[in-house]
Amino acid sequence: MITIKEALTQKEMTDFVTFPFQLYKNNPYWVPPLIKDELKSFNPKNDIFKSVTARYFLAYQDGKLAGRIAAIINWTEVNTLHKSKVRFGWFDVIDNIEVTKALLDKVIELGKEHNLEYMEGPVGFSNMDKAGMLTEGFDQIATMIGLYNHAYYPEHLEKLGFTKEAEWLEYKIDAKQVDLGKIEPLSRIIEQRYAVKSLNFKSTKDIIPYVDEMFGLLNKTYAELQSFVPIEQFQIDHYKEKYISFIHPDFITCVTDKDGKMIAFGITMPSFSKAFQKANGKLFPFGFLYLLRAMKKNDHAEFYLIGVDPEYQNKGVTALILKRMYEVFTKRGILTVETNPQLEENKKIQQLWKNFSPIIHKRRKTFRKDL
């Protein structure tokens, strides 16, 4: 017997957050989140809920927890971008298509309640959350910003009539294969031709004044992509507080024009995936130490964000970012790099890696169904 219950109490929300810890126990590729941070994200006082409605559901089979799902409406997306969509996210389930259907039916109910036309997922509250269901690369460890799921997830959705809405590619790069002979002279030419220069940082404190500008560039960079939803100021403040302290200044590079205006930036980080696996959802007593060790000694890095002003997107300014990345990787002994998920349609970003001998090693999709 399958029953669905809305998670309303603190105990139920804890069950919602910790269910994947049961589902993926001993899985070598799943990377657990920090339980405290996950619970904080769902707190109704979170500013994200100024523009988002969300409900959380738990599935039980014969009295045992068997799945979870969040049904989400991003009202900026609906009212400003006129996308008549209900989202679903935080979707995890045992290998039982009837449980999957029962969970998705709750998302359909929320969508119909608000006269929306279709559903899509997995996605988060906004475009700054994790998105996309893994469809290739089930034998690869997840990144901090990449979802992991069992191979039967997309099979369930396809059998239930869902179709692909968006697809992301993830590349793995051998840092030793970087062709510095092409990047270095190009970066010098670009600096002279457009009067631009790299801006590097010595401390986290130095970075903070530039964070709002970075997110503003993200909005400009990705505005034309089909999945784009503008990042609002309260979201910027939230992600600034949540992530900036994790990022070592070596791994952030900006490019400015002759007037000091930021026109491009790139953020990489040492991979924390294995450290988060060891922490198993908790920073204390030892989780924080695992993260510190990963920051100091690591041969694998992840490329998180890149933003380029549309006016400069075809002028080669990313050569300055790539040159700085190579210098940092060499200094820190980074041997391999993994990109963040990149939309299949975003050819401009994918072109960045042409001199890095990239290999596509993961694919992920969101799935859509009309209501």
What pLDDT was estimated at residue 203?
Answer: 85
Evaluate whether 127 touches 91 at the Cβ level (below 8 Å).
no
pLDDT in tens, 58-91: 999 999 999 999 999 999 999 988 999 999 999 9
Residue 368 or 306, more confident: 368
pTM of the predicted model, to two decimals?
0.90
pLDDT in tens, 241-258: 766 766 788 889 999 999
Sketch out the chain's domains with CATH numbers: 2-168 (3.40.630.30), 173-363 (3.40.630.30)
Residue 317 or 156, more confident: 156
> Band of the pLDDT at 355, cuts 50, 70, 90?
low
Q: Strand ranges (DSSP E) for 94-192? A: 118-121, 133-136, 163-174
What pLDDT was estimated at residue 235?
Answer: 72
pLDDT in tens, 142-193: 998 888 999 999 999 999 999 999 999 999 988 777 666 778 888 888 899 9
Q: What integer best gives the mean pLDDT of the chain? A: 89
300: its two tokens: 């694998």
- Dihedral, CA of residue 151, residue 152, residue 158 and residue 164, to nearest 10: -30
- Is residue 285 pLDDT above 80, yes or no? yes
pLDDT in tens, 1-13: 999 999 999 999 9
Residue 11 or 340, more confident: 11
Dihedral angle sign, alpha carbons of residues 333, 338, 340, 343: positive
Evaluate whether 187 touches 325 at the Cβ level (below 8 Å).
no
Q: Which of 172, 177, 304 is nearest to 251 (CA)?
A: 304
Task: Reduce the DSSP state of residue 294 to 3 states and report it.
Answer: helix
Report the pLDDT averaged over residues 90-112.
98
What pLDDT was estimated at residue 32?
Answer: 95
- Can you say whether residue 15 is alpha, beta or left, with left for phi > 0 and alpha for psi between -120 and 50 degrees? alpha
What pLDDT was estimated at residue 224?
Answer: 67
Evaluate whether 61 touches 1 at the Cβ level (below 8 Å).
yes
Report the pLDDT averaged over residues 23-35.
96
Q: Which of 41, 342, 319, 20 is nearest to 178 (CA)?
A: 319
CA angle 239, 242, 245 (to 5 degrees): 115
Evaluate whether 321 touches 253 at the Cβ level (below 8 Å).
yes
d(CA 91, CA 148): 11
What pLDDT was estimated at residue 179?
Answer: 66
- Is residue 314 pLDDT above 90, yes or no? no
Report the pLDDT averaged over residues 14-34.
97
Dihedral angle sign, alpha carbons of residues 335, 268, 330, 350: positive
Alpha helices (H) along 114-228: 152-159, 180-194, 204-207, 211-221
Evaluate whether 256 touches 197 at the Cβ level (below 8 Å).
yes
